[in-house]
Structures are given as C-alpha cells and as structure tokens.
C-alpha cells in the first residue's frame, strides 16, 4: 500500500512538472517577423530604393491623409498568435500617427497579411523638406488564448515621408515652422 501511494505521488509530481513545462513553453514571447510582398495605399506617389543594406519606401506626404501599408507578418513561434493591434505606449514618429494594425490570428509557423494604418500630419511643426521614418512597430499579441505580450517588429521597408513646402502644408504659418 505504501509503495502504491509513493508511486501515485510520483506520478502526480511528474504530471505537475509536465504541466508547468507546458505553461512555460506557452508563456515564451512570440517570435514575429515582417516580410513582403508589400502594398501601399493612401498616397499619390510611392517609390522604393536601397541605401546600403536598408530598403526605404518613400511616400508622398498628404496632410490629414491615412497611409495603409500592407505586409506579411510571420509567426515563427510554436503556438498560434493573435495580433491585437499596436501598443499604445510607443511614440508616434514626427509626421506619422500610428493609427492601427489589423487584428488577426496567425498559426504557428504561418504568415498572415496585416495592414498598418498611419495618419499623416504635423508638417507645420517641421521645416520644409525635413523627413520622418517608421522602421519598427510595437505589436500587442495574445498567445495560446491567454498570454499577452508586446513584440517589436521591424518593418520590411523603412517608411519615409518628407515635410512638404508651404503651399502643400495647409496649417503652416510664417512662424510655425523652424528655419531650415
């Protein structure tokens, strides 16, 4: 009887350890990467060029407009991930407002198309032809239906726009823009 009780206790301990290991694996932060193909809407012009090892997507600034940048998000994790959106704690770049990211579920080892929405504004606070970049985003995720994390994702291209000349920046004044 004592041997049976010891065996049952041993089996229970092993089950608890195995369950803990499963929770530990599920709790690991998701591994997300971004890739192409990409598409852009919400601007009159867009061009892609290489600068050393960087790929830059130049978009024409449209004050008050919304740029939509669609790309593939790769889930290189062992578990499915639900993209909940953008982390509210990240700072907005100078000429862009990080407005949203498509909410969707992506299976383990799979890719899914997501769209990053960026509002364009603030040209009146930046000198004419100065620029702004978006290179990474902080993505809120839920893994295994339970655990929420924020994952920094490097975009497949650095998104860049320039502050337009005064004629195309409707709220600029003689004193609103710094010299330059």
C-alpha span between 49 and 93 (Å, rounded): 21
Mean pLDDT value of segment 106-112: 96
Which pLDDT score is estimated for 136? 97
Which pLDDT score is estimated for 1? 56
For residue 32, what are the CA distances in angstroms to 74, 108, 120, 145, 168?
5, 10, 26, 17, 38
CB 130 within 8 A of CB 95: no
Q: What is the DSSP letter of 165?
A: P
Q: Give 131 or 177, the one with higher predicted confidence.
A: 131
Which pLDDT score is estimated for 27? 65
* Residue range 31-168, CATH number: 2.60.40
User: Tens digits of per-residue pLDDT, 38-85?
Assistant: 999 999 888 999 989 999 999 998 989 999 999 999 999 999 999 999
User: Tens digits of per-residue pLDDT, 113-144?
Assistant: 999 999 998 887 766 667 889 999 999 999 98
Q: Give 21 or 3, the one with higher predicted confidence.
A: 3
Q: Which of 133, 67, 57 is nearest to 95 (CA)?
A: 133
Single pTM value for the model: 0.79
């Amino acid at each position: 009887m004592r041997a049976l009780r010891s065996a049952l206790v041993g089996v229970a301990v092993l089950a608890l350890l195995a369950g803990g290991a499963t929770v530990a694996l599920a709790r690991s932060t998701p591994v997300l990467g971004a890739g192409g193909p990409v598409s852009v809407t919400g601007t009159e012009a867009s061009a892609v060029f290489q600068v050393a090892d960087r790929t830059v997507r130049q978009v024409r600034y449209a004050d008050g407009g919304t740029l939509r940048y669609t790309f593939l998000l790769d889930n290189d994790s062992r578990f499915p991930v639900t993209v909940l959106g953008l982390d509210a704690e990240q700072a907005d770049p100078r000429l862009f407002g990080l407005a949203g990211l498509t909410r969707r579920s992506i299976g383990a080892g799979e890719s899914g198309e997501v769209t990053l929405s960026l509002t364009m504004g603030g040209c009146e606070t930046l000198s004419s032809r100065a620029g702004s970049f978006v290179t990474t985003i902080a993505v809120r995720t839920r893994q295994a239906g339970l655990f929420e994390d924020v994952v920094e994702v490097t975009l497949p291209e650095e998104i860049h726009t320039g502050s337009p000349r005064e004629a195309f920046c409707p709220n600029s004044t003689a004193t609103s823009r710094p010299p330059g």
